[in-house]
Every structure is written in structure tokens, then in C-alpha cells.
């Protein structure tokens, strides 16, 4: 596992530590552990240099050089705010411990901006008929935008936010998607798949998944190109107390004429060239795993069905406006626009 590059046993020599630190540059920090992988302390080039100044030698145990109380993250007890505070303090690499103080992973802020405690589901089963003939032999999610497929932009951004498990729902030419990503090991995440034998709608495929291991689920369409801030989306969702939060697209309608307000055939007021603000569905959702119990099994069930049912049950449904870039790649002109936009936006 990649994180073990940062671990060194307490019996290792100073030479071993220097050699590993040299290999880790620019991520040069080690976490010294005992035989059970329990954290003892941290070790950097600076710690070794300061030890030599104090009179330590190459045969001095490395435990004499370590910082004994390094910052760490408890796997089961951390907040997004805590992670952001560490990042703002320019702490670059932090060990992640379980309740037994064993190092089970390492958070490198150069590679991951956070650790969102959600499972992600990406809907990738559609035929993309409007993009024919491009989708004749290639599923729409694998069409390239810039240097990589549409869906891979989304997988990489989710992984960058620390989402460790992604489930992809496939149908049309799904084997190509499976072959492209495999089990996710190349991206240091877990990727699983569910296969729809018939179209089940945006939320219907969730009934095929029974191994969610987080309390919150992020669901999104695979054909979106967006730089939505997933961390802020999650923070807003938690803060709102919503059962479901929908990412929304601000949409303005500008009327070029005066709009009259009519009552009983008479004009009682008018608004000169008004602008009306609306929000449309952005195809990205965060919701509580407990809501899966209200969904029908193996039945077509769209996002609108889910929303209507929650609203009728007096559940809290909120929205999160995407203020950055968002494009639904459904038509040839959208695909052409994406090819140009990718040159200028940061995902």
C-alpha cells in the first residue's frame, strides 16, 4: 500500500531513515511505528540534523530523533473543519490512525484535499444516443474531454476529496468502463460496479447496491463536466441538516419588456424589463443513507420521484448553487464546447 512508504519501524537505523526520506522527496516525512504499526512519532530530515547537532550518531536509535507527539487524524472521529485547519497551517502530511493507534493510512494534502466520509455513486449506463455516431462503439462516459474521458474527470475529483469508495452503475457497453478503471487500485481507491439489465432511472440503480459503508451518499451523473467544490458541498449539506441536498445551476431569465401585473382586467403595477432568477437541477445529490429504505427495489425511479416523495413526507430538501463551471454533455454542441472549455478551466 502506498502509505506504507511513510512508515519505518522503530528498530531501523538512521541510515535506513535517511534513505527512505530521500526517496520520499518532496513528501519527506516518516512515521515511526512499533511492531503492531502503532504510532510512536514522526521523523524528518530536520529532526535527524538537530539530533546530530545534539551529539547523536548514526548508531543512535531513531527513537531518539523522533517528534513524540505528531498531529494525527482518528479514522472514526474527525471533522472537515479539523482537516482544513491542518491544511491552513501548512501541515502537509498527516497519519490516519484507528482506535488502537495503528497507522492505517496517510493524508497527503498534495494528493487529497480532504477526507469526505461519503460513498459516491456515478450513473454511467446511458446510451448517449444524441451523440451518435461517437457512442456507437464507445460508451458516452468514456468519450474524451481533453486528455481523459468525461467520467475520469469526475472520478479523479472525487478521489482528490478523499472519497475512497466509488460505485459505478453501468449498462450500455459497460465492460469498457470496467476495463478502463478496474478495481480502482491505480487511483488508490476502491471502485465497484453494479449492472442495470434495464434502465432504472437516476436513483433506481441504488436498489442494486447493498454495501454502502458510510452514512451519506453522493450520487452524480457521469456525463457532467464541473469543478463543483465537493468539500464545500458536503459542508453545506451537513450544516443545513438536510435529508437531501441537490446541486443546482443558477439560471436567469431576462424579459426585454415591461411585465404587467393584472388584477380583474386592470393593470395594478408593472416591472420594467425584469430579471427572474431560477435554479435548475445540476445532477449531483447528497443524501442520508437511511433514505434508501423509501426507494422501490429494482424499479425505474428517477430523481424527481425521489424528491417528490421526500417533500411529501416533510423531509428537508435543500439546494447548493454551483457557482463555478458546469456543463451537461448531452448533445454534439455540448461536447464541442467541452473540448474548448477544458483548455481554460481548472478541474
pLDDT value of residue 76: 87
337 and 309 fall within a common domain: yes
Check residue 294 and give its pLDDT.
Answer: 84
| Full residue range of the structural domain in which residue 51 is found | 2-108
Per-residue pLDDT of the chain (347 residues; tens, 9 = 90+): 789 999 999 999 999 999 999 999 889 999 999 999 999 999 999 999 999 999 999 999 999 999 999 999 999 889 999 999 999 999 999 999 999 999 999 999 999 999 999 999 999 998 889 999 999 999 999 999 999 999 999 999 999 999 999 999 999 999 999 999 999 999 999 999 999 988 888 898 998 998 899 999 999 999 999 999 999 999 999 999 999 999 999 988 898 888 888 988 888 888 888 888 889 999 999 999 999 988 888 889 999 999 999 999 999 999 999 999 999 999 999 999 999 999 999 88
Same domain, 76 and 199: no
pLDDT at 92: 93
Question: Do 261 and 229 belong to one domain?
Answer: yes
User: H-type helices in the chain, by residue range?
Assistant: 14-24, 45-53, 80-88, 150-160, 174-181, 201-204, 230-240, 303-312, 332-341
Specify the 3-state DSSP secondary structure of 100. Answer: coil
Same domain? For 212 and 260 the reply is yes
Model pLDDT, residue 267: 83
pLDDT of residue 5: 93
Last residue within a domain, chosen from 108, 141, 160 = 108
DSSP per position, 28-57: --EEEE-TT-BEEEEE-HHHHHHHHHTT--
CATH number for the domain harbouring residue 191: 3.90.550.10
C-alpha 131/C-alpha 331 separation (Å) is 6
In a domain, 71, yes or no: yes
Domain end point (choices 67, 82, 108): 108
Residues 40 and 149 in one domain: no
**Do 62 and 140 fall into the same domain?**
no
Instruction: Please report whether residue 114 resides in a domain.
Output: no
Tally of structural domains, the chain: 2
Q: Give the angle 171-146-151 at the CA atoms, nearest 5°.
A: 25
pLDDT of residue 195: 92
Concatenated DSSP letters of 168-218 = EEE-TTHHHHHHHHTTSGGGTSEEEEEE-SS--HHHHGGGG-----SSEEE
Q: Give yes or no: residues 141 and 223 share one domain.
A: yes
Q: pTM of the prediction? A: 0.89
- The cell numbers describing 140, all together, are 458516452
How far is residue 266 from each of residues 83, 258, 270, measured CA to CA in Å? 60, 15, 11
User: What is the reported pLDDT for 271?
Assistant: 87
Q: Is residue 30 assigned to a domain?
A: yes
User: So what's the pLDDT on residue 272?
Assistant: 85
107 within 8 A of 93, measured Cβ to Cβ = yes
Cell representation of residue 38: 502503532
We report the CATH number of the domain holding residue 45 as 3.10.580.10
Q: What does residue 324 show for φ and ψ, rounded to 5 degrees? A: -95, -140
Q: How many CB atoms lie within 10 A of CB 257?
A: 10
Residues 139 and 223 sit within 8 Å (Cβ to Cβ): no
Q: Is residue 226 part of a domain?
A: yes
Amino acid at each position: 500500500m502506498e502509505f506504507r512508504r511513510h512508515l519505518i519501524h522503530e528498530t531501523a537505523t538512521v541510515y535506513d531513515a535517511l534513505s527512505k526520506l530521500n526517496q520520499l522527496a518532496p513528501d519527506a516525512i516518516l512515521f515511526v511505528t512499533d511492531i503492531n504499526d502503532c504510532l510512536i512519532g514522526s521523523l524528518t530530515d530536520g529532526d535527524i540534523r538537530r539530533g546530530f547537532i545534539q551529539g547523536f550518531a548514526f548508531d543512535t536509535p531513531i527513537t531518539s530523533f523522533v517528534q513524540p507527539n505528531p498531529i494525527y487524524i482518528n479514522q472514526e472521529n474527525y471533522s472537515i473543519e479539523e482537516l482544513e485547519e491542518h491544511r491552513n497551517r501548512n501541515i502537509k502530511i498527516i497519519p490516519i490512525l484507528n482506535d488502537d493507534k495503528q497507522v492505517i493510512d496517510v493524508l497527503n494534502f498534495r494528493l487529497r484535499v480532504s477526507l469526505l466520509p461519503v460513498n459516491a455513486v456515478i450513473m454511467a449506463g446511458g446510451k448517449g444516443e444524441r451523440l451518435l455516431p461517437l457512442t456507437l462503439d464507445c460508451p458516452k462516459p468514456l468519450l474524451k474531454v481533453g486528455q481523459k474521458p468525461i467520467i475520469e474527470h469526475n472520478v479523479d475529483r472525487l478521489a482528490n476529496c478523499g472519497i475512497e469508495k466509488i460505485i459505478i452503475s453501468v449498462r450500455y457497453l459497460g465492460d469498457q468502463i470496467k476495463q478502463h478503471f478496474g478495481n480502482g487500485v491505480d487511483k488508490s481507491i476502491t471502485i465497484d460496479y453494479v449492472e442495470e439489465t434495464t434502465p432504472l432511472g437516476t436513483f433506481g440503480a441504488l436498489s442494486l447496491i447493498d454495501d454502502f459503508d458510510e452514512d451519506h451518499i453522493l450520487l452524480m451523473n457521469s456525463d457532467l463536466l464541473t469543478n463543483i467544490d465537493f468539500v464545500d458541498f458536503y459542508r453545506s449539506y451537513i450544516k443545513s441538516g438536510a435529508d437531501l441536498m441537490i446541486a443546482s445551476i443558477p439560471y436567469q431569465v431576462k424579459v426585454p419588456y415591461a411585465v404587467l401585473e393584472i388584477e380583474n382586467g386592470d393593470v395594478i403595477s408593472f416591472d420594467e424589463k425584469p430579471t427572474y432568477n431560477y435554479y435548475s437541477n445540476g445532477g449531483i445529490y447528497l443524501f442520508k443513507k437511511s433514505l434508501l429504505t423509501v426507494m422501490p427495489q429494482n424499479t425505474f425511479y428517477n430523481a424527481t420521484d425521489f424528491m417528490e416523495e421526500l417533500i411529501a413526507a416533510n423531509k428537508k430538501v435543500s439546494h447548493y448553487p454551483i457557482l463555478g463551471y458546469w456543463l451537461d454533455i448531452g448533445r454534439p454542441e455540448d461536447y464541442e464546447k467541452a473540448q474548448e472549455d477544458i483548455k481554460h478551466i481548472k478541474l
